[in-house]
Structure 1
Amino acid sequence: MAGSRSAAPGAAAGRVPSGCQGPLGRPAPGGGPASAAGRAARAGRRREALTGYAFTAPAVLLFCVMGLYTVGYGLTLSFAQWNGFTPHWTWVGLDNYADVLWRDPRYAPRVHHAALNTLWVMIGVPLLTVAAAFPLAVLLNRAGRMQAVLRSVYFLPYVTSGVAVFFAWTYILQPDGAVNALLGQLGLGSLRQPQGWLGNPDTALPTMIVVSAWGAVPVAMLLYLTGLQGIDRSLLEAAQLDGAGWWRSTASVVWPLVRPITSIVVLLNLRDSLQGFQTFLVMTDGGPGDHTNVLGLEAYRLAFLKELAPTLGLASALGWLLFAAALILALVNLRALRSTT
């Protein structure tokens, strides 16, 4: 009896579940239904991955050809001298960067003046955008039923063709345009600009800053509106219970909570102010007297305008300097964003 009792556990330990046995009672190769299901799942995942790769391959290939190749070509061109027509380049190394920064008296002073104008744009546009977009988003968040209509109206400038909007602004700012006419009707004729707001060297750049900020407000307003709608209402109710009014709640509760969105808005406007030039090209072409010339427009001029003895190498060098500055700004803004969250 003792022997039979001692043999029972061993026999039980040596048994294999019937679902995992072969036809002769031996364990089935592969571990049975569980292993078969695992193999099927892995095969399904492989097929899914291959399908995904097949769908993304054309886009990746197009990006490699039109993106990476173009970027590499432009970087190589910044170390060469070429006017776009001769079959061969002249390798000059870092001379293009030295020429646009300080060495060449034909190009360096123009770049310095354009950099100063760009700096003013980079300061003015983000400040005006935040100052206009945040109050509009706060008011729009309290609009109730009219919110959808007002949101569409405020966003309309962004979806309208940029060239058409810029030409419209040009007509509005002319000597006989709507701005001067409105000032005359309001009894502020002393503020009218006989040369037009874009023709006066003292008002041309500030006017362009206002126009650029006007075009950037819609996106910034929607970003702020999204952040405002995500704020927990209990925080505002707690502030009101503590005696805080609307202004105090907005300044002490709402504004700190949307600070990350402010960082994003500032970064987007800094990038556009540093690299964009379409507005200045269409409305002023850098005039009057280069008072609205910015770095992006100067790079365009170096590349394509004959009066500046065009060289694509100098334009590419200036473009890469702008890219480096934009990258530094992005890293600084990212660090500041992490410190606030």
Structure 2
Amino acid sequence: MATDIDAAPAAVPPQPRVQAVKKPRARFRERRNEAAWGYLFVAPAVILFLIMGAYTVIYGFGLSFAQWNGFWPEWHWRGFKNYSDLLGGSPTYWPIVRKAATNTLWVVIGVPVLTVLIAFPLAIVLNSVKRFQGILRSIYFVPYVTTGIAVYFAWNYILEPGGAINLLLRAVGLGSLQEPQGWLGNPDTALPTMIVVMVWSAVPVAMLLYLTSLQSLDSSLIEAAQIDGAGWLRTTTSVIWPLMKPITVVVILLDVRDSLQGFQSFLIMTNGGPGDSTSVLGLETYRLAFLNEMSPTLGLASALGWLLFLAALVVAFINQRAMRRIG
């Protein structure tokens, strides 16, 4: 007997939701709004750079071709006369610049070389220490984080005739090595002493860079060298040191920059003295700009600053080419 069975309607599968395709004009409007918001957020930084950066550079470059004392309503254009005076055309300024350039050259050579010679072995030793490495690293980094002015005044007390250096030499029986005038009062020892102070300040950063690079080295390279019979010295000089050359380039460039442009330590500790034995180009630029209020030397200061900038570029280029050739 046949029965009528009501057939249930078949289930309809859900249809995928079709997203409306935006028109090209709507997409363009949306992208334009996003770009406008992006420009709005970066505008303060760009404006600040244009005011404090680009405008200052352009203004200083134009000033290097003029004569001005900071009070005159207008500049007196001199063309390249400022540059020629600094490079030998003036009997007043050329001897000062020549002496300062010689001292700066000694600083540019001495500070990077001594920093690398001290920081790299120090990083090797610190990397081999298994206990208290964080504490030792913090101790060695103290010279960098300490306030510069306070440190410079502390060095003045240490280096004066009755300071700690002379007292220590007298205590260990090396009184003949004392400096009765102080280590900064003797023209023969003032500049080397300032180089030592700058190296003391530069070693912490260089040591930390070397230490970070050492901790990221592939240990299999060192193990392979040791399996081949290389000792500690051979492994350090033939395996580790070549891998540290990129960091060495960075360290040298940082020290060269500080040696050429940094003058705060010279200003506070010696002010270029005794005589002109510690006069450097950065300090002479500061003197021409701010210590001759009524003299029209701001243009000369700007010109000397640009010459210093060009010297930094040349030194950086030579250093980079030399390190590439060595590598």
* TM-score (ref. length: structure 1): 0.86
Partner of 1:318: 304
Distance across 2 between alignment mates of 1:71 and 1:183: 49
Counterpart of 2:173 in structure 1 is 187
Any conservation in 2 of the 1:302–1:308 contact (CA below 8 Å)?
no
Q: What residue number does 1:3 align with?
A: none
Instruction: Find the counterpart in structure 2 of residue 278 from structure 1.
Output: 264
Q: Distance in 2 between matches of 1:192 and 1:182?
A: 9
Whole-Å separation in 2 of the counterparts to 1:299 and 1:289: 17
Name the residue aligned to 1:90: 76
Partner of residue 292 from structure 1, selected from 263, 272, 278: 278
Distance 1:184 1:294 in 2: 32
2:188 is aligned to: 202
Cα distance in 2, alignment partners of residues 142 and 48 from structure 1: 52
Query: Within the alignment, does 1:258 sit opposite 2:247 as a pair?
Result: no
Structure-2 change in CA distance of 1:46 and 1:224 (3 Å):
farther
Hey, what's the Cα distance between the residues in 2 that align with 1:241 and 1:124?
38
Higher relative CO (CA 8 A, sep ≥ 6), structure 1 or 2?
2
Residues 1:177 and 2:163 are matched in the alignment: yes
**Cα shift at 1:331:** 2.8
Query: Is 1:229 aligned with 2:215?
Result: yes
Where 1:175 maps in the other structure, the secondary structure is: coil
**Correspondence 1:220 to 2:206:** yes
Match of 1:99 in 2: 85
Query: Aligned partners of 2:73, 2:319: CA distance in 1, in Å?
Result: 43
Q: What is the CA–CA distance in structure 1 between the aligned matches of 2:129 and 2:29, rounded to whole Å? A: 54
Correspondence for 1:59: 45
Q: Answer yes or no: is 1:68 the counterpart of 2:54.
A: yes
Deviations 1:88-129, CA, capped at 9 Å, x for gaps? 110000000001110111100100010000011111101110
1:248 is the counterpart of 2:231: no
Structure 1 portions without partners, runs of 5+ = 1-17, 21-31
1:149 aligns with 2:135: yes
Q: Who is 1:327 aligned against? A: 313
SS at match of 2:46: helix
Counterpart Cα distance in 1 of 2:196 and 2:278: 13
CA drift of 1:308 comes to 9.6
Q: Which amino acid aligns with 1:160?
A: T
Q: Does the C-alpha gap of structure 1 residues 38 and 262 become closer, same or farther in structure 2, counting only changes over 3 Å?
A: farther
Q: Distance in 2 between matches of 1:41 and 1:152?
A: 54
Whether the aligned pair in 2 keeps the contact of 1:301 and 1:308 (CA below 8 Å) is: no
Contact 1:301–1:310 under 8 Å retained in 2 = no
Deviation at 1:51, TM superposition (A): 3.7
Is the alpha carbon distance of 1:254 and 1:41 closer, same or farther for their aligned partners in structure 2, counting shifts above 3 Å?
Answer: farther
In the aligned structure 1, how far is the partner of 2:312 from the partner of 2:43?
30
Structure 2 runs not aligned, ≥5 long? 1-14
Mark the CA change 1:308 to 1:40 in structure 2 (over 3 Å): closer, same or farther: closer
Is this contact kept in 1: 2:119–2:203, CA < 8 A? yes
State the number of aligned residues.
Answer: 313
Alpha-carbon contact 1:132-1:217 (below 8 Å) kept: yes
Distance across 2 between alignment mates of 1:305 and 1:116: 22
Distance in 2 of aligned mates of 1:158 and 1:230: 23
Distance (whole Å) between structure 2 residues aligned to residue 259 and residue 38 of structure 1: 53
Alpha-carbon shift at residue 19 of structure 1 (Å): 8.1
CA distance in 2, matches of 1:334, 1:51: 41
2:122 matched to 1:122?
no
**1:43 Cα shift?**
7.5
Instruction: Using the TM superposition, give the Cα deviation of residue 37 of structure 1 relative to its aligned residue in structure 2, in angstroms.
Output: 11
Residues 177 and 235 of structure 1, relative CA distance in 2, 3 Å threshold: same
Per-residue deviation, 1:304:
1.9
**Contact persistence 1:78–1:96 (CA under 8 A):** yes
Q: Percent identity?
A: 65
SS of residue paired to 2:131: helix
Paired residue for 1:158, among 139, 144, 147?
Answer: 144
Task: Deviation per CA, 1:218-277: give whole Å up to 9, x if none.
Answer: 111111111111110000000000111111111111000001111111111111111111
RMSD value, Cα: 2.5
Where 1:145 maps in the other structure, the secondary structure is coil
